[in-house]
Amino acid sequence: MRLQLRSALLSLRDLLLTGGPVLLLAIGLFWLAYRVLDPIPPQRMVLATGGAQGAYAEFGRLYRDALARQGIEVELRATRGALDNLALLRSGEVDAAFVQGGADMLRSGDEDRAPDELLSLGALFREPVWIFYREDSARARLGGERLESLSQIAEWRLNVGQEGSGITHLMHRLLIANGLEPAKLPLSQLPTTPAVMALLDGRLDALALVSAPESPIVRMLLITPGIRLFDFAQAEAYARRVPQVAPVLLPRGVVDLAQDLPGQDVRLVAATASLLVREDTHPALQQLLVQAARRIHSEPNWFQDKGEYPKAQTGDHPLSPEAQRFYASGEPLLQRHLPFGYANLIDRMWVVLLSIVAVLIPLSRVVPPLYNFRVRSRIFRWYGLLREIEQQHAEGSRPLAALRAELDQLDARIERLPVPLSYADELYSLRSHIAMVRQRLDGPASPASLSPATPDDPARTST
């Protein structure tokens, strides 16, 4: 039993020494593939949202809960709006952000800007431009309860959102389209909540928001007595003049059927919100985000049908490869049956692993011959010494006693030679050959090995 264990350990050692280079190469290739592909996503990410009472903040909490179920902690970063979010993305302070469609093109003089470090995960939802105004302001300034055109708002105290929000520059475009110069208007740039309070207590005549209907502030203002929503009667024309927006319709009664709010269809213009990420945002996080987007934004609302969003709409930024794959084939197959961590690891590594295996299989075929050569060479290398002893005996170049002593030393070494049991026949063959040479050394001396003849030697003198 002890001999068998020793032989097994010896075989294992020889196998490791022989196949070690191939094994080390395999480990190195796997490690390199793991480092390059980085299949394990970070356990924490930062998502830039928007104002505390806006739709971005509401959606941010839903994304945080969705990713938490996959073990990813999402930190929500409150900002002033879309332009702040773009700046945070470019600086690397956040991994992903909600951005108003066309926000990159809304800054004056930035029309030709083509950012290349950001990717889109698709269009998420429509963001109408909501312009709420006081009925008493319309009566005082226009003599009626309705604001008919933005061109009538020149003398109004209008809040266009704080600097850094998408609504500020979008409203400037809409005002310019009506022949108004924003720099000459009494515009204010209060944050959303203070602006709403100012509108309600009469310190503002109107305020503009860009937000999805899920925003609590939008829903509150829609049902507030004395506050009206501006009807973009020229919505189609606005969409032609300001390409960042498209016409949408708020149907009659959709806010409150019982109260018939609104009392008629309201025409609006809307931008489209996107979810942007950095190019270096981990692909697994991008995949989780776009999957969460499908669950969160696919339900119908006032401005979209069920399943209409999210969709592979690029806008100002190229679509992420992860998003392209998701919109083309849906959730990866493995993630439907395995926990996300395992499914993601296999999904990202299997192609490379198969390639590595394809390289290693031919290399592994040389291991058995090398193993066989290594073990047999441990035995066969002694044949050289054995042949030398035999040759020296045949030539008589060394005394028999010295040859016998050297042969005994060789036999003692061979007896201690570590050889796996599977190669014991080779070892016993060597020892039998040693015994044959010993018989020759112990037998009659060869003529060449005899001592020089004396003068009395008749065999010598006869010649």
The distance in angstroms from the start CA to the end CA of the chain is: 65
Is the bond preceding 247 in cis, omega lying within 30 degrees of 0?
Answer: no
Gap between the Cα atoms of 64 and 295, Å rounded: 13
pLDDT of residue 128: 93
Which amino acid type is present at position 398? Answer: R
Residue 228 phi, psi dihedral angles, 5° rounding: -115, 155
Gap between the Cα atoms of 60 and 66, Å rounded: 10
Q: Give the dihedral of Cα atoms 143, 147, 152, 153; nearest 10 deg.
A: 110
Residues of the chain short of pLDDT 70, as ranges, are: 1-22, 25, 29-31, 33-39, 102-116, 314, 333-334, 336-337, 341-346, 348-360, 363-364, 366-367, 370-371, 421-422, 444-463
pLDDT of residue 384: 83
Burial class from Cβ neighbours inside 10 Å (0-12, 13-18, 19+) for residue 462 reads exposed
Residue 107 phi, psi dihedral angles, 5° rounding: -70, 140
Gap between the Cα atoms of 176 and 143, Å rounded: 25
CB 184 within 8 A of CB 173: no
Number of CB atoms found within 10 A of residue 198's CB = 17
Number of CB atoms found within 10 A of residue 397's CB = 11
CA 199 from chain center: how many Å? 46
> Distances from the Cα of 67 to the Cαs of 7, 99, 344, in angstroms?
54, 20, 14
pLDDT per residue as tens digits for the range 259-281: 898 999 999 999 989 999 999 89
Gap between the Cα atoms of 327 and 164, Å rounded: 31
pLDDT of residue 390: 82
pLDDT of residue 190: 92
pLDDT of residue 366: 67
pLDDT of residue 114: 46
Q: Among 49, 84, 77, which residue's Cα sits nearest to residue 165? A: 84
Tally of CA atoms within 13 A in the half-sphere of 314 that contains its CB: 9
Q: List, in order, residues 6 or more apart from 364 with CB less than 8 Å away.
A: 19, 22
Burial class from Cβ neighbours inside 10 Å (0-12, 13-18, 19+) for residue 153 reads buried
Gap between the Cα atoms of 187 and 387, Å rounded: 107
pTM of structure: 0.66
pLDDT per residue as tens digits for the range 361-375: 776 676 677 667 777
pLDDT of residue 68: 93
Which amino acid type is present at position 214? Answer: E
Gap between the Cα atoms of 55 and 98, Å rounded: 10
| Helix, coil or strand: residue 210 | strand
Which amino acid type is present at position 259? Answer: Q
